[in-house]
Structure formats: C-alpha cells, structure tokens
Amino acid sequence: MSTDPASATTLQDHGHKDGVPKLALGALGVVFGDIGTSPLYAFKETFVGHHPIAVDQLHIFGVVSLIFWSLVLVVTVKYVSIIMRADNRGEGGSLALLALISRLSSTTRRSGYLALLGVLATALFFGDAMITPAMTVMSAVEGLTVVQAGMGPLVVPIAIGILVALFLIQARGTARVGAVCGPIMVLYFVTLGVLGVVNLIERPDMLFSLNPWWAALFIAEDPALAFFALGSIVLAVTGAEALYADMGHFGRKPITFSWLWIVLPALMLNYLGQGALLLEEPIAAENPFFLMAPEWARLPLVLLATAAAIIASQAVITGTFSVTRQAIQLGFLPRLRITHTSASAEGQVFIPIVNWTLALLVVLLVLGFKSSSNLAAAYGIAVTGTMFIDTLLLGVLLLSVWKWNRWVAVPLLAVFLLVDGMYFASNLTKVPDGGWFPLVIGLLGFTMLTTWSRGRELMQERLRESAMPIEVFIKSASSAAARVSGTAVFMTSSPTGVPPALLHNLKHNKVLHERIMILTVVIDEIPYVSEEDRIGTVMLGSDFYRIIIRYGFMQEIDIPAVLKRIENCGPKVKMMETSFFLSRQTLLASDKPGMALWREHLFSWMMRNAESAMDFFKLPTNRVVELGSQVEI
C-alpha cells in the first residue's frame, strides 16, 4: 500500500510545536468529550431503554463484550489505525476525506456520487451536533435524582440554563475555557477508571466478558433482541468520528496516544465496573453510572460529569463552526458572517447564525424530549449514518487511491460495513420514537448544501455563456474609453471572460482605470495553501492583469493583505488609490433545465441572505462599488 507523501501528517507541518504529551492533554479536552461521556447513558439505555433486556449474567456479559469489541473495531482499528492516516494535509473529517479522494483519485466516474456521500455525512453531522449537547448535559444533570429523588422536576430547567449559558459565551471565544478542559477531563477519566476498578474488585469474573464468545452467545440466544440492543450499545462509540474530524487541531500521534493509553482503558474499566454492579444489584440498571459511587461521592460525581458534559458539548459546537466554515469555503454554503475569536489561533471562529440556530433547536429538544432516555431514541442514527458513509469513502480510498491488496482490503471493509450497517439498521428502528429528528435535520441540510452547490454551478454556466472574451474586450475598450488614474479591482468567480461588473462599469461610466485587475479567489481542495503558491498573475496587455489568489478551505481570506504583496503588476497597490468593483446578481427563476423551480427559489433566497462579499473578503468599505445584474438559472 502507498500514500500520498504530501498528505503525511507531522506535528511541525501544522503548527503543532508542542510535544505529544501536551497535545495529548489538549486532545482529552476537545476530542474525547463526546465518547468520554458515553458511560453516563450507554449502559443504562441498553438495559432500561426503549427495548429493555433482562439484567442477568448472559445479557450483562454480552453487552459488555459487544461494547468492548465495538470500541476495538470501530474506534481503534477503523478510525485510529486506518482512517486517521487519510489526512488531507493534516486535516480530517468527511469533507476533508472527500477532498483528499478527489485530489488523489485518477478517475472522475464516481466523483458525483462521492460528493453526494460527503455532503450527506456533513448534513448528518449537523443533526448530531444538535442532539449531543442536549443528551450529554441531560444525562449528567439527571444524576441529581440519584443524589436526591425529589430533584427530578429541576432537571430540565437546570439543563436548559447550562446550555443557554454555554451558547451565550461562544462569542467570547473558547481559548480560556479550553485551557482548563484538559485537566478536568484527565480527572474525569481517572474517576471513570477508579469507579470501575472499585466495583470490579467485587466481581472480577466480569473480565471474562471481554471474550467475544459472550457477544456471540448473546446474539445466538435472541437475535431479534440483540439487534434492537445494538441501537443502544452504539451509544458507547458515539464521538468516534470526532477523533478524525479534530485531527487537524492536534495531530494523529497525540490523539492515538490519548485513546490507547488513557481513554480506552478508562472507558472499559468503567463499563466492566457497571457490569459488575449490575451482577450484584440488578436494580441499579436505572442509573448504574452514578450508583457505582458511594453515596457521599455522588454529588461531586454529578458536578464532575456535568463539567465533562459541558466540555463535550463545547467540542461539538466548536466542530460545527469549523465544518460550516469548511462547507462555505468549498462552495456548499453561502457566505456567512464569521468572527475570529483569537488573534493567534486561526481555527477559533464564531458564526452567529449557526450558534443561535443551534441554541434554539437544542433547547427545543430538551423541552420536547424531557429526559435523556427519550433523547436516546433520537441519538445514534446520525452518528451511525456518518460512520457508514466514512466506511464507503474509506473503501474508495483503500482500493482506488492507496491501491491496497484486495485480499486484505475487501475482507476488512466487509467487516466494517457489516458492523456499521447493523448499527445503522438497528437505529432505524428508533425513527418513530425520535430518530426522525436527525433525519429531518440531515435532509434539510443535504437539500441546502446541494442546492447551493448546484445553483452556483448553473449561475457560473449562464455567466460564461454570455461572457465576452477578454482579448476582444481589451482591444475594443482600450481605444474607445478614457482612462482615469488609480487601480480598479474587479472580483469575479470565473477565471475566464470579462466580469459583468467591468462591462457594466464601462457601459454606465464610460471610463477605465489606468490599471485594471481581474481578480478570482480559488479555494483549493486542501486545507492550507502556502504563501509561495498564493498568487498567480497573467499580463493581458494595456495594463490589464488577471490575478488568481488561492486559499485552502481552512484558511482565512484577506484580499487587501494579499494585494499589497503583489509584484510584476506595475506599482505597489495602495488601498487609498484602489477601487473594488463587485457584481451583485439578482437571480430569476426560470423553466430552463438544471434545477427544479422550488430549488431555484431556495437558491435565490440563500443568495439574498448571504454575507456581503465586501465583508467576507475583508474589503475596505469606503472603496467598494457594487453593480447589479440579472441572471436566469
């Protein structure tokens, strides 16, 4: 097997100057919050959820065995050992994986289907991002009912208060909060392990449950019940996709180290401890996580679990901002207002519309479902769908790009597809009980992502159809129009032809500036473009220049800063002598082939509500001229 040398991850390549231990500590506070809080609810939901099972040795051993081997196969083997090697210049996630395959694959036959899979995985991620904060915080706060039974009515108000406060602080940035996340999660994982060991001492025979024979025996005893149980058991691996999505922040080695030496041992000790508790006290299935602790330690445990749940929610919210930004840069979403919350960390961004939409839906989820058990019915289907899609994309990567030996790759992929497929199928049974919610959100997200992408393609096609060749324009306009002092920059999405704004400016103002730059910003399918490859210039004659500025899909765009560095295009660009001309298209829905009429109206609405190009490209507000035109799609 082989990999693209350019995609190899090194700590230094991506700004990870800290050593592996320090980065591993940071990863604990960001990457593992979701999967780390799974013991709060996964074991409980398996036994007392929507498809309860008997609390006896066979089922306890079978469930723990299935959890262990799921963590090994799905997280350790699939994500940590294989998928995390598929980094797109250090970045991970479904969109990064899709971009990597597109960049390295020699065939375009399947590119359309692969793009749809990547977009669908992204849409499902948005559904999961709404449920995770509600589920984790509710599960932690419900521990209060173990401390004091009469506190049940306070669970929902307290959970909503915590979540609202969490969304309110997003605009301030997460750097200060993130600084304490790592140590808190270290304490949390140590507590998981200690609680597990204390209970495991009472029933050391629980260690036999790690034998896969018990999983097979459970399935053979009652296949239908085992199938339904998978829908709750999969909650133990929710968050596995975060290891890959957050790889760009910490690097593969720190995440791998944290998983193998801290998180996986702590999780398994805790699940074994919960199993040992149920062997001794079957009634503890109502909330085994908190009942593992002695009575005096339960309130501190609730507070620690709540802190871990907040950290897990914070990681998901931050991840949503990052994925949204990637989708905007790659052309799947319109421009949105993005605020950078750190002067030094480029990846720390805040997107107001995403934050408040997420906040509203999360609060509605808590009010609508009222308990973590009810939320569990909605939880899992988006995650398993994403995992299944990642496996399909991995198959293309192994067979078409990396050229693995088929005798190795095909059986391995078959195992992954079987496991992911069974988990996804089991979660489909939850659709009537709440699983419909992430599917509806995923469908809405998929529709908007594909509509924007397709609409942009159609609009650019229409503009190209009517565009005049630049050579013809220069010859005719240079001799007929008067030239005025200064530099005019005409922004256009097409690297060929004459920008509509340039045509309209000449038509209405009857003049041309002494230097004209036709500027196109290209977002490449890699996270970062080096400064050496940033600028491309072409001299067109008569003081016309075509300029291509390239960015990676994880980079911040700042056009004035780049223009000041341009050479070989006459004198240095001075902002006070430069005017920027933008074309604002008004879209007219028509019956031309391309998109359904309702999608054309949706695209037009999205375009009207997009962030101004002036703000998105950081253009000086007093140097911008917008010229309108109408386009039929």
Q: Residues 120-146: pLDDT tens digits?
A: 988 988 888 899 999 999 999 999 999
Highest averaged pLDDT of the listed ranges 1-15, 362-376, 451-465, 478-492: 362-376
**pLDDT for 153:** 92
Residue that has been written with the tokens 């904060």 in this structure = 133
More confident residue, 373 or 189: 189
C-beta separation of 387 from 417 below 8 A: no
Tallying the residues shown for the chain, one arrives at 633
CA-to-CA dists, residue 453 to 115, 503, 559, angstroms:
11, 26, 23
Which range is least confidently modeled, 455-464, 555-564, 615-624?
Answer: 455-464
Percent of the chain with pLDDT over 70: 93
Which pTM does this prediction carry? 0.84
Report whether pLDDT(9) > 60: no
User: Hey, what amino acid is at 434?
Assistant: G
R_g of the chain, CA atoms, integer Å: 27
Cα 53–chain centre separation: 34
Which range is least confidently modeled, 15-19, 58-62, 209-213, 432-436?
Answer: 15-19
HSE (side-chain half, CA atoms, 13 Å) at 42: 30
User: What is the number of other CB atoms lying within 10 angstroms of the CB of residue 106?
Assistant: 6
Q: CA angle at residue 28 from 22 to 34, to 5 degrees?
A: 160
pLDDT bin (cut points 50, 70, 90) of residue 177 is low
pLDDT bin (cut points 50, 70, 90) of residue 7 is very low
542: phi > 0 → left, psi -120 to 50 → alpha, else beta; which? left
Average pLDDT, the chain: 86
Which range is least confidently modeled, 64-78, 348-362, 461-475, 533-547?
Answer: 461-475
Beta bridge partners of 91: 88
Euclidean distance between CA atoms 546 and 532, whole angstroms: 18
**pLDDT for 234:** 93
> Tens digits of per-residue pLDDT, 303-328?
999 999 998 898 888 888 888 888 88
Report whether pLDDT(568) > 60: yes
pLDDT bin (cut points 50, 70, 90) of residue 341 is low
**pLDDT for 36:** 92
